Structure 1
Amino acid sequence: MTLTLALALISWQVAVGGPLLAVDTGARHLTRELRTALHSLLLNHLGVGLSDLGGPVPAIPLLFAAAAFAARRDRSAGRARWWLPLPAAVGAAALIPLLVAPAKAWFARPGPFGVPLTPEQTGWYPSGHTATSAVAYGTAALLLGRLLAPGDRRALYTVTALLCLGVGAGLVWSDYHWLLDVLASWCVAALVLAALAATLRRLDRAGGAPTGD
């Protein structure tokens, strides 16, 4: 409920140009001041590199590789629903553009540089790279986490969360997206992953798949 309300609030403010957008301008101003003060090529390249991790490549191939590995492990263990990770990965990959592309077209928000959208552009809100990384890497972590002991699973989830945070930070640092673009996509991804996690738990219990417990 909290995530849904946060997403609705951010979307409303973006649509009407509300006062919450001051968060974006403040974050952009602070980020640019830090970039100027630090004047670090390493940090700038790191920001771009982290941003690139949110692209369809490498996020989607990694998701499919994780799903194939999880399905193979489940099949080796003799699980009836060993194929479950495969449609889960395909569904997650297909869901990303279905959720993001219409929203980008609807809000048609210009990017941090304030340049008007060209006819072929659909807008910056919400962030596609943020959604892609969070949903793809998050789904991969959920599929692999089913196979791990609790401690290893927590470590995997922590690393995945840090990676997704890094992608969002890189996008803001590099002026590729407004902060609220990133936050909205995290809300969307969290809702998708929460639903997927609940579905996987239910199907695993019904099919006797390993849970790592």
Structure 2
Amino acid sequence: MLADGPLRDADERLGPWITGSRLPDGAAELLADLGGVTIAVPFLAAAIGYAGWRGHRAGVFRWWLAPVATAVAMAAVPVLVIPLKELIGRTGPPGMDGTGYYPSGHTATAMVAYGGAALLLLPYLRGTYARRELVIACALLNFGVGLGLVRRGYHWPLDVVASWCLFGMVLVGVVLVVARYGRGPAAFEADAGQPK
């Protein structure tokens, strides 16, 4: 994004095509708004509260770890996005003023809020079908937020993709931390007895 090139040219050709799509303005605006702090963060807070309550009630070892790790991931959104926006200084689509559109903050907020909520709720769902549906719903919701942002002309497509990639890795970090430090002593003893 720092230099003009074929990827940026393709991105700036794709943006107007999506902006001119048939998705109604109202629906696109609603989808874009789902990435806002006022909607996404309370949603994640509810999932954090529920997962913490369920884990504590069930006596899960380090029941607090997954909720805290997810909250830290949400706190990382402005810490990572704002400096990147300043460093890259990408201009917005036509009609948007100034710079600082890459990566998309709304997309990052949605990715962590809805992705983090899905990660917190997965252990409490029974059956492969319910888990699969939750993951599909999370993916569609995040795709919808990105589509709404581009359709309304708030971001270029690669602004959205950059946030998906960056905060997808942040969520992978949450999973790794919980997998490493959230297992009880019995799990470590079982691992120690396994042949290497």
Q: Give runs of aligned pairs for residues 24-35 of structure 1, distance below 5 A.
A: 24-34=11-21
Match of 1:126 in 2: 103
Partner residue, 2:162: 184
Provide Cα deviations, 1:72-125, integer angstroms capped at 9, x if missing partner.
1111111231222331232012110111000001111111016552xxxx6101
Classify the secondary structure of the residue corresponding to 2:86: helix
For residues 85 and 208 of structure 1, what CA distance do their matches in structure 2 show?
Answer: 19
TM-score by length of structure 1 reads: 0.80
**TM-score for both structures, normalised by structure 2:** 0.87
Question: Partner of 1:137 in structure 2?
Answer: 114
> How many Å separate the matches in 1 of 2:186 and 2:28?
42
Partner Cα separation in structure 2 for residue 50 and residue 115 of structure 1: 19
Pair 90,32 (structure 1): closer, same or farther in 2 beyond 3 Å = closer
SS in structure 2 of the partner of residue 15 of structure 1: coil
- Tell me if structure 2 keeps the 8 A contact 1:172–1:178: yes
Q: Is the 8 A contact 1:49 1:170 kept in 2?
A: yes
Q: Answer whether contact 2:48 2:120 (CA < 8 A) is retained.
A: yes
Corresponding residue of 1:85: 66
Q: Does the alignment pair 1:97 with 2:78? A: yes
Contact 1:133 1:167 in 2 (8 A): yes
Q: Which runs of 5+ in 1 are unaligned?
A: 1-13
Q: Which one-letter code corresponds to 1:162 in the other structure?
A: L
> Which of 119, 137, 150 is the aligned partner of 1:172?
150
Which ranges of structure 2 fall in alignment gaps of 5 or more residues?
188-196
CA RMSD of aligned residues (A): 2.0
For the residues of structure 2 that align with 1:207 and 1:168, how far apart are their CA atoms? 41
How far the C-alpha of 1:205 sits from its partner, in A, is 2.7
Matched, 1:61 2:42: yes
Q: What is the deviation of 1:33?
A: 3.8
Whole-angstrom distance in 2 between the partners of 1:20 and 1:182: 14
Question: Against the structure 1 CA distance between its residues 207 and 44, is the aligned structure 2 distance closer, same or farther, given a 3 Å change threshold?
Answer: farther
Separation in 2, partners of 1:141, 1:31: 28
Match of 2:10 among 12, 23, 33: 23
Could you tell me the percent identity over the aligned residues?
A: 44
Amino acid of the structure 2 residue aligned with 1:132 = T
**Residue from 206, 209, 213 that aligns with 2:184:** 206
CA distance in 1 between partners of 2:80 and 2:135 (Å):
23
Partner amino acid, structure 1, of 2:34? L
Aligned residues: 186
Q: 2:107 touches 2:164 (CA, 8 Å); kept in 1? A: yes
Distance 2:101 2:28 in 1: 18
